[in-house]
Structure 1
Amino acid sequence: MRKWYNKLFLNDVRNAVEKYNMIENNDKIIVGLSGGKDSVFLLYSLLLLRENSYLNFDILGLHIDIGIGIDMSDTEKFCRENKVPYIYENIHIIDKIFEDKKSPCYLCSKMKRGAMARIAEDNHVNKIALGHHKTDIAITFLLNLIYTGKLETFKPISYNEKHNLQLIRPLIYIDEKTIEKVVKDEQLPLGKNKTCPKDKINKRNEIKVLLENIEEKYPDFQDKTVRAIENFEQGNLWL
């Protein structure tokens, strides 16, 4: 690891984990590997965290194929080289989710989460790590504000009572540009050949363009969004 990675991102991962008590000794954590940059960066970050902290926990890599057939061979090799067990599961739901023309992404996410919970239970896993980052927080916040009229975004840690699982998001203080840089510099393995046909044609991508426009004038907007969420007080609003 390059020493300046601590300042670039690892300290932020450590701060998020410690502030929200995301990881404890003897945890067994599944990292959902989609084939994209965010999830492989999350895996890389957790490996570095385990190597450079007092925490001792197990990591498993999981790729759920919805029927697209992304080539994950390089990612599987990376897991093997780092002694991370790799699980592949094909649930082949692609035809079913695209029957829902209004919200295929929501249905896909819901069905993949169900599969992840089942696999976690089968492997005696107590936590699932997801690769949502600071840019995702800002996008989700704007998406809910504009399209649903709600002040809402995902939480750093949440609990799945049905499956007795915690969902953790260690990258909440890391922006997407940092992830892109590290993935490129370290040549971290991405899925090849195929991507989701809805990858760039959805509301999230539309809001991402809006966020980029906002940041041209207000470059610290992502930081301010996270700060506003963390410093929220009920009395500041009407109810």
Structure 2
Amino acid sequence: MSVSDSGQIQSAKAAPSPEQAKKAKTQFNKLQKRLRREVGKAIADYNMIEAGDRVMVCLSGGKDSYAMLEILMGLQKSAPIDFELVAVNMDQKQPGFPEHVLPQYLDQLGIEYYIINRDTYSVVKEKIPEGATTCGLCSRLRRGTLYTFAEDIKATKIALGHHRDDIVETMFLNMFYGSRLSAMPPKLLSDDGRNIVIRPMAYCREKDLVRFADCKGFPIIPCNLCGSQENLQRQNIKMMLQDWERQQPGRVEHIFTSMQNIKLSQMADTSLFDFKNLQIDRSSERKAYEFADDQTVDGKPARDAVKMVNIVNL
């Protein structure tokens, strides 16, 4: 037991037993291996990082970007190729933002890092009405700044900390509110062709990253500009997917897998598939239908059809 400054009695948290500590360590090791395996697979599947790359790892101060940097640093040590990691944070001058947290953390890691100071907070608050969603403008300003800075430091790849749940949420967000079928690709060439964005954690589940961050004790910095706003469209999508996942575990994973298995001929985009010029081709011999022997046909065919049937039967 302990006494707080206000004089209230507080219960001390009991230290874990040796058995509990051993079990917790085993579970963490499994979690860390799974995350590294998933990140490694995503990097390999999409050729995200190549020999000689200088990867700009974007840190927001949230659990996902901390985990991305941690995992990439671990993979860097064992990777068969050499590549550089540069940590970059953009201080958007939000009121109360703890400017000291990230520099202190990165100093301990001994990694090259930069803090970009740009007051996008004031711009967003000026342009967006009170209560409206700020995420769109905020992300555009942040993206433009980071793209430019990547060139300044000669980074060849820009790594963002989006995970599988983010990607699926974005797809539904664009479907429901944007009337388009698109999401966050694991690898993206910017519109001007000057930067490549990678998402190494595209295969990782958010709940695993939450556990990983808790175990590592990352100094999390909340986003008070947009993340705390209520009734955001993304939050509605997130709640919908969480409800689906409770009803049928694994549904989000199936949705993500379907994004990797797209059949354009089964969709409806005329710019991606030529529906107008589809033609039948019966020049080859028709394959035998295995259930044809059990089939009977009733009806009264047209005269021309009767003649054709008789000709075929000759």
For normalisation by structure 1, the TM-score amounts to: 0.92
1:116: Cα distance to partner?
0.7
1:10 to 32, 36, 39: 36
CA deviation map 1:30-69 (0-9, x unaligned)? 1111111111111111111112321321111111111115
1:3: Cα distance to partner?
4.5
> 1:94 matched to which residue of 2?
121
Q: One-letter code of the match for 1:143?
A: L
> 2:297 matched to which residue of 1?
none
> 1:198 matched to which residue of 2?
226
5+ long unaligned stretches in structure 2 = 1-24, 270-314
Q: Is this contact kept in 1: 2:91–2:119, CA < 8 A?
A: yes
> 1:238 matched to which residue of 2?
268
> 1:67 matched to which residue of 2?
93
SS at match of 2:255: helix
Q: One-letter code of the match for 2:176?
A: I
1:149 maps onto 2:179 in alignment: yes
**Greater mean deviation of Cα atoms: 23-32 or 147-156:** 147-156
> 2:9 matched to which residue of 1?
none
1:118 maps onto 2:148 in alignment: yes
Provide the rounded CA distance (Å) in 2 between the counterparts of 1:110 and 1:238.
30
1:170 maps onto 2:196 in alignment: no
Aligned residue-pair number: 237
1:209 maps onto 2:239 in alignment: yes
> 1:23 matched to which residue of 2?
49
1:81: Cα distance to partner?
2.6
Paired-residue identity, %: 27
SS at match of 2:85: strand
* Higher RCO (C-alpha under 8 Å, 6+ residues apart): 1
Q: Is this contact kept in 1: 2:133–2:226, CA < 8 A?
A: no
1:29: Cα distance to partner?
1.0
Provide the rounded CA distance (Å) in 2 between the counterparts of 1:124 and 1:161.
18
5+ long unaligned stretches in structure 1 = none
Provide the rounded CA distance (Å) in 1 between the counterparts of 2:134 and 2:113.
27
Q: One-letter code of the match for 2:260?
A: E
Provide the rounded CA distance (Å) in 2 between the counterparts of 1:60 and 1:24.
15
1:72: Cα distance to partner?
4.7
1:224 maps onto 2:224 in alignment: no
1:81 to 89, 105, 108: 108
Provide the rounded CA distance (Å) in 2 between the counterparts of 1:55 and 1:184.
31
SS at match of 1:209: helix
